[in-house]
Amino acid sequence: MKKIIKIVPMLIAGIGFITPAISGPHWGYEGDEIPENWAKLSPDYQMCDIGRNQSPVNIAGTIHAQANALDIHYGLVSGNVVNNGHTVQINDKNTNDYVAIDGEKYKLTQFHFHAPSENQINGQSYPMEAHFVHQNGDGELLVMAVMLEQGNENPTAEEILLALNEKENLPSNINDLDIRSFLPPVNDYYRFSGSLTTPPCSEGVTWIVLKQPVQLSKTEIVKFEHAFKHHNNRPIQPLHGRLIIAN
């Protein structure tokens, strides 16, 4: 008999949203501010330590289930690109970019990058991972992750790197960015409940990791790594019995 597995999204209380560079005590990936110390940096970061549904995870031992289709409705993104000291982030000012799943619409607010990848698939890490951060009308978050592997040049990555101001926290405008070149041809995905991978590590985030990677050239990967100055991936977190659904 088939078991129906439903992931119940939890409400996240009190998150304005991911603007880590602007609010809260400083955190990072090096020295005293490494991920293992985040919870010690502020009482607001306690979830980084005590949370039982933390991200990223190693996606292994998945359960195949009748999963609903993921509809991605991305057009041309206009907004700005900024090196916020933690990542390179593109803030989407359009109101019509969204994904839909389970009849629920999640609007794209921003996307950013990690090197190397944060999530792993069967223990495999990728050179980079893109996180597309969405929010629904109730303020619930959905992050869609795309693994980035070394290969052909990606024209959209090129545009982002060209527009990027090297100085931190100095946004530059970006117009009509075709982010569809960050999407693989097939939308098959892994799905699980998780958290922000940066302080305050808030839980109740729906994670969708697309199975197929997208390519970036070696030069583009090196340029992103240069902008980050150091690795910006939080280590893998324990699943604590969470199920990972694969469609």
Contacting residues toward Zn ion, per CB under 5 A: 131
Euclidean distance between CA atoms 156 and 130, whole angstroms: 13
CB of 199 to Zn ion, least distance (A): 12
CB of 214 to Zn ion, least distance (A): 16
CB of 64 to Zn ion, least distance (A): 27
Closer residue to Zn ion in complex, CB, 131/134: 131
Euclidean distance between CA atoms 129 and 148, whole angstroms: 5
Closer residue to Zn ion in complex, CB, 67/130: 130
DSSP calls for 150-180:
E-S--HHHHHHHHH--SSTT--EEEEEEEGG
Pairing state between β 63-64 and 245-246: parallel
| Other CB atoms within 10 A of residue 26 CB | 12
Question: How many separate helices (H) and strands (E) can be counted in the chain?
Answer: 4, 15
Q: Which two tokens stand for residue 64?
A: 């195949």
Active-site residue (options: 64, 73, 86, 226): 86
**3-class DSSP state for residue 39?**
helix
Closer residue to Zn ion in complex, CB, 131/223: 131
Asked about 86 being catalytic, the answer comes back as yes
CB of 1 to Zn ion, least distance (A): 38
Closer residue to Zn ion in complex, CB, 56/65: 56
Known catalytic residues?
86
